[in-house]
Amino acid sequence: MQYYSDPLSVSSEMKTFLVGGAVRDTLLGYPFHEKDWVVVGATPAEMIEAGFAQVGRDFPVFLHPDSKEEYALARTERKSGPGYHGFVVHADRAVTLEEDLERRDLTINAMAMDASGDIIDPYHGQRDLADRVLRHVSPHFVEDPLRVLRVARFAARYHHLGFTIAPETAALLSQIVAADELPHLSIERVWVEMEKALGTTHPEVFFHTLADCQALAVLLPALSVSQGIASLTRAAPHTPRLDCRWASLLADLPEARVKAINEHLKVPNAFSLLSSRVSVARPTLKRALRDAVDCMALIKLLDALRRDEPFEGVCETLIALEQNSDAARATIDLLRTACDQARTVTAADFTDSGLAGPDLGAAIQAARVEKIKAVLR
């Protein structure tokens, strides 16, 4: 059976293989959206002649002229400096598929499939798939600090399938942290991995894994492991929104610490704003719903009169943190109703009053408080 067409099959020396996550998830029967390819026996000039466009002048990765999928020349890597950029890449037609696969992080990611559907598995990835084990390929695993985050993310992604990290691989994660390699990761790359992890079925496993190898203390020293991860564990099954999951992780922290974490990681504005608002709303919500003036103050603080977000995100996060309980939904319904009533009062209601400036603002505020009082009775 022909599983795919080899775009370089015109040459007997040049072979194309599907590699990495697409092979892994095909064998797992798990959905995937991206395909990565390795080309053995080719040179950059031959790739360009075949119509491929090189991605970066110094890196042997090319875009397919039609699919735009990435095709990388088989290569080896040699550690030359700190961090995940500290490698010398060697790619030529003599590099074998097995040598290319050896540089990969986990055995389950070090498999290839040829055009006939045959699996090339020199490092026993199929065995580890069957045993549900995340295991490193070689001792060179410790050379790339990004692998700490990647392994933690895979542990989160496949936790529901029963995957665990091999003890010897867990030991290497701790070794990478102890070698002080994590500070060499760019903040942007750290956030990319965290955001991906938030979208997994068990995002809390990602943070637990980082905590177990002491990486969390380096990457997020302001986060309380016991509280933050427990809050995320409760909330994640009840909201698919990544910004709500992030907000739940930080929900028990004071607003100043939440802002500090968000600024340090350079998180997107939507994540930053929502998590800050949740950290303020959560401890004050019950009190606010006992007093119309306090309720109006909270509504203004959440900017709920002008726009639905982040107000709806705050509501969803607070419900998720209480595991979608009837009491939580009733509390948030009351807050939403109070907000809806406050929104019915506008400046147009005072057109004939002759009020302006601060006096008009005070009158609108007082009218909104009266509307909220009627809701809270």
Residue 64 corresponds to which tokens in the numbers above?
């397919």
The strand ranges marked E within the chain are: 15-19, 36-40, 53-54, 61-63, 70-73, 75-79, 87-91, 112-113, 119-120, 133-134, 164-165
> How far apart are alpha carbons 102 and 140 in whole angstroms?
9
pLDDT above 50: residue 10: no
Model confidence pLDDT, tens digit, residues 357-375: 999 999 999 999 999 999 9
pLDDT above 90: residue 58: no
Residue 195 corresponds to which tokens in the numbers above?
């955001």
> How far apart are alpha carbons 288 and 298 in whole angstroms?
7
Amino acid, single-letter form, for residue 293 = V
| Terminal Cα-to-Cα distance of the chain (whole angstroms) | 71
- In the chain, which residues fall in CATH 3.30.460.10? 1-124
pLDDT the model gives residue 1? 42
Q: Which CATH number is correct for 1-124, 1.20.58.340, 3.30.460.10, 3.30.70.100, 1.10.8.60?
A: 3.30.460.10
pLDDT above 80: residue 23: yes
Model confidence pLDDT, tens digit, residues 135-159: 999 999 999 999 999 999 999 999 9
CA dist list (Å): 211 to 8, 176, 187? 45, 13, 18
- The pTM of the full predicted model, rounded to 2 decimals, is 0.89
- Residue 84 phi/psi, 5-degree rounding, is -85, -5
pLDDT the model gives residue 313? 97
Q: Is the dihedral of CA 105, 106, 108, 113 positive or negative?
A: positive
- In the chain, which residues fall in CATH 1.10.110.30? 132-219
Considering only the top CATH level, what class is 132-219? mainly alpha
